[in-house]
Amino acid sequence: MSDVLLPSAELAYSAPDAAGFYGPYGGTFVPETVVPALAELAAAYEQALADPAFTEEFAYLLRDYVGRPSPLYRADRLAEAVGLGAVYLKREDLNHTGAHKVNNTIGQCLLARRMGKKRVIAETGAGQHGVATATIAALMGMECAIFMGTEDIRRQALNVYKMRLLGAEVIPVADGTGTLADAVTAALRHWVERVEDTFYVIGSALGPHPYPRMVRDFQSVIGTEALAQLEEKGVGHLDAVIACIGGGSNAIGTFYPFLSALPADQRPLLVGAEAAGLGLESGRHGAALTKGSPGVLHGFYSYLLQDDAGNPLEAYSISAGLDYPGVGPEHSYLKDEGLVRYEGVTDAEALAAFALLTRTEGIIPAIESSHALALLPRLAAELGSEAVVMVTVSGRGDKDMDIVREAGLGG
């Protein structure tokens, strides 16, 4: 992998276009009142990327505040248990605040400060994005409000307490199912009303342009580090890379550098793990890419779970971070182009993977991350016992203790 950072230009992956479309997906489907704010944001983002002071402060905070680079750990006992030659874990769970979410919140809060915004809002499901946003708002002296569904507040009480401790206002959203999609709707509605003084820190690679690209760019530190670490460790061949998919931020942050920095014939198999919930045929899942169809949701066009009239359906997962009825538009494009494969993982499979990593390596992952880990036995059967696979462990499992205890794990 010594020459992986120097592909020929015609083999490099590149998206979106100037209007924020990844093929047919993405775009800006919002009320006219919001269009100027999004145009201002896009312009401010381009200016920030061209400013060395911005990129240097972002890199400094990732290094000295978050603790990056996150380790790339060879999990030999796990590899033996699943029947693979080697498994490498990209340890986003070791970041400050316990997940990948902080990479993006730092970038967006720096941008908010640059734009003169004194107040930030965010949506959250599992609570990790809410905690990360509240953390960076406290660091930068900003007012912060977090929208969270009432069901997720119940499931993620520890993270709710952390957000409030950090000084954020947690705003319950009881509409619909009281989960992530409803929190996004409420946050967008609020932003429309307060766009002059408020910056909306979107937590995943979705929403209207330029959010999917911004989130991808800020999260691409995951895959960029992994490429360098694989080379440092002398891993000459990598067969597959796995990440979990809800909205898709940790996954696109992992996959994008492999797509953009590697020629097609050098890329490993890229696999995203969606929430199959109680089963893909049960109607109780969050697998928008596997079982959904293209439509518009929350300002962008992408695959989503919807009825015949185009209304979003309820998504379900044991994981509060994966029960969103849509997915980021870049993932939809990657699916259609065959550049990434997406597979459903049930609650039961995710819980089994959670227990396996915990008991073989002493690492307690988030249930979201456990969906990605659950694909390891499948890939062993497909690729063989000598295959080398990397998994992004997007977060740690402290927040999920009540859920796994209710599920009967651990005695």
Give the model's confidence band at 129: pLDDT under 50 very low, under 70 low, under 90 confident, else very high: very high
| Confidence check: pLDDT of 8 > 50 | no
Tokens linked to 231 = 């080379």
Q: What confidence score (pLDDT) does residue 33 get?
A: 85
Q: And the tokens for 85?
A: 């030659």
Tell me what the mean pLDDT of segment 173-192 comes to: 92
pTM score, whole prediction: 0.95
- Per DSSP, the three-state class of 8 is coil
DSSP-derived secondary structure letter, 68: P
C-alpha distances out from residue 301 to 84, 115, 121, 216, 323, Å? 38, 27, 23, 17, 18
The answer to whether 330 and 212 have CB atoms below 8 angstroms apart is yes
pLDDT at 13: 78
Three-state DSSP class for 73? Answer: strand
Calculate what percentage of the chain has a pLDDT beyond 90: 90
Categorize the per-residue pLDDT at 2 as very low, low, confident or very high, splitting at 50, 70 and 90.
Answer: very low
Q: Which domains does the chain have, with CATH numbers?
A: 20-64+101-215 (3.40.50.1100), 67-98+219-406 (3.40.50.1100)
| Type of residue at 67 | G
Catalytic residue ranges: 101, 123, 394
- Helix orientation angle between 211-219 and 249-261, rounded to the nearest 10 degrees: 70
Q: Is the pLDDT of residue 181 over 60?
A: yes
Confidence of residue 411 (pLDDT cuts 50, 70, 90): low
Residue 10 has pLDDT above 80, yes or no: no
- Decide: 145 and 151 in contact? Cβ < 8 Å: no
pLDDT score for 5 = 39
Strands 198-200 and 86-91, by their bridges, are: unpaired
Count of C-beta atoms within a 10 Å radius of residue 317: 29
Q: Tell me, what's the pLDDT at 320?
A: 87
